[in-house]
Structure 1
Amino acid sequence: MSRESQLREEICRIGASLYQRGYTVGSAGNISARLDDGWLITPTDACLGYLDPAAISKVDAGGEWVSGDKPSKTLVLHRAVYDNNPDMHAVVHTHSTHLVSLSINGVWKDEDVLPPITPYYVMKVGHIPLIRYARPGAPEVAAQVAKIAGSVRGVLLERLGPVVWESSVSKAAFALEELEETAKLWHLAGGKVEPLEESALQDLRDTFKARW
């Protein structure tokens, strides 16, 4: 099986997993993966739970639609990540409930939507800034992401949900799940959890190379 075929299968597998466990609903959300000659991205208005590997959109290095169904309207946002972080090979975006709620009801800080309340959040996710609301696919959002794509693993789009990037589709999904779980914990605790102390954060940096 070619690398492209493997990526198509992985996108479908991860999409179905996220959908079945309620990380996204309906036709919300999108997933992309970097190829040597462009990108794969889920089609516009596709349901992540029922993706067809053959229908996944392929675009070339210039962003032109090559094959498959019409690409997601967020293609420009995904490209902003890839163009500004060569180590990242996948982007996952969902409308996860607790994170969308967090963006509506108030984040911890604009530069850190959630405090460092668990070690795995610190290690697997790190700093996640808030991007203020703009319509889905708005170019100004991509422009903002382009400026920070090399220094963080993701962003939270106000009223739209998280966008997370990593070295593979699976790793991006895992980081997104950790982000959503932390938002859930924050909600359950009424936003009253104390962050990990600086000494604990430094221990995670020293031991696991955590980026916090």
Structure 2
Amino acid sequence: MSEEARLREEMAFLAKSLYDRGLTHGSTGNISARLSDGSLLVTPTGSSLGMLDPARISRLDADFNHVDGDRPTKEVPLHSAFYETRQAQTGAVVHLHSTHSVALSVLPETDPDNVLPPITPYSLMQLGKVKLLPYFMPGDAAMGEAVKGLAGKHSAVLLANHGPVVAAKNLKAAVFAMEELEATARLVLLTRGMNAKLLSEGDVAELTTRYPPG
């Protein structure tokens, strides 16, 4: 099996896993992954992550032009911003509309510079600081420009009233990091107002030194 065929199968399998466990719904969310020649596989526009046909997944060239497969997601500018600003670290990007992350994005007390308090070590290890970006209309290229404005300093962002976006070295790592973001958002909401004991500044410093994210 070729590299491309394997990646198509992996993308469909992991996308269905996300869908089956309720991390995405309907035709929401989109995924991209890079091949060794620099070209990309991208989920098609209007497709359900629970019902992807590997053969119809869109393929883009290294300059993000549509080459074959179905028409790609309208969020290509959002994905391309991570590949352009985090070239060495990014082999895949996952964007979902997961419930708890979206809920966290609309609360006024959420810190826009670090949306996830240090409630467990794993979000720090896999995500680092997650930046909250303002609301943009879906498909607006300004989302990509906002990510570019972060100059590659964040592997994950949360789009207000929309959902999280995570970049990682490969598709499996991006999916796992996205799952960690959503699980942590849920923990934050479950413990809000309970005076939860968070990791100390010393704990955070030790973790980020030993396990630098991204």
Cα distance in structure 1, aligned partners of 2:108 and 2:179: 20
Q: Of 95, 99, 102, which residue of structure 1 is paired with 2:101?
A: 99
Task: Give the match's secondary structure for 2:149.
Answer: helix
Runs of 4 or more consecutive aligned structure 1 residues displaced over 4 Å after TM superposition = none
Partner of 1:43: 44
Q: Equivalent pairs: percent with the same residue?
A: 45
Deviations 1:65-112 (A, max 9, x none): 111100000011111111111120000011100001111223531111
| Conserved? CA contact 2:124–2:208, under 8 Å | no
1:70 is matched by which residue type in structure 2? R
1:196 is matched by which residue type in structure 2? L
Partner of 2:196: 193
TM-score norm. by structure 2 comes to 0.93
| Conserved? CA contact 1:128–1:156, under 8 Å | yes
| Conserved? CA contact 1:107–1:113, under 8 Å | no
Q: Of 160, 173, 176, which residue of structure 2 is paired with 1:174?
A: 176
Partner of 1:165: 167
Partner of 2:112: 110
Cα distance in structure 2, aligned partners of 1:58 and 1:211: 29
CA RMSD of aligned residues (A): 1.6
- Could you tell me which runs of 5 or more consecutive residues in structure 1 were left unpaired when the two chains were aligned: none
Task: Give the match's secondary structure for 2:180.
Answer: helix
Query: 1:6 Cα deviation (Å)?
Result: 1.2
**Aligned residue-pair number:** 211
| Conserved? CA contact 1:131–1:155, under 8 Å | yes
2:152 is matched by which residue type in structure 1? G
Call closer, same or farther: CA 1:76–1:158 in 2, change over 3 Å: same
Deviations 1:12-65 (A, max 9, x none): 011000000000000000000112142110000100001011000011122221
Q: Of 108, 130, 133, which residue of structure 2 is paired with 1:131?
A: 133
1:74 is matched by which residue type in structure 2? E
Cα distance in structure 2, aligned partners of 1:202 and 1:141: 30
- Could you tell me which runs of 5 or more consecutive residues in structure 2 were left unpaired when the two chains were aligned: none
Query: 1:149 Cα deviation (Å)?
Result: 5.6
Task: Give the match's secondary structure for 1:70.
Answer: coil
TM-score norm. by structure 1 comes to 0.94
Cα distance in structure 2, aligned partners of 1:169 and 1:31: 9
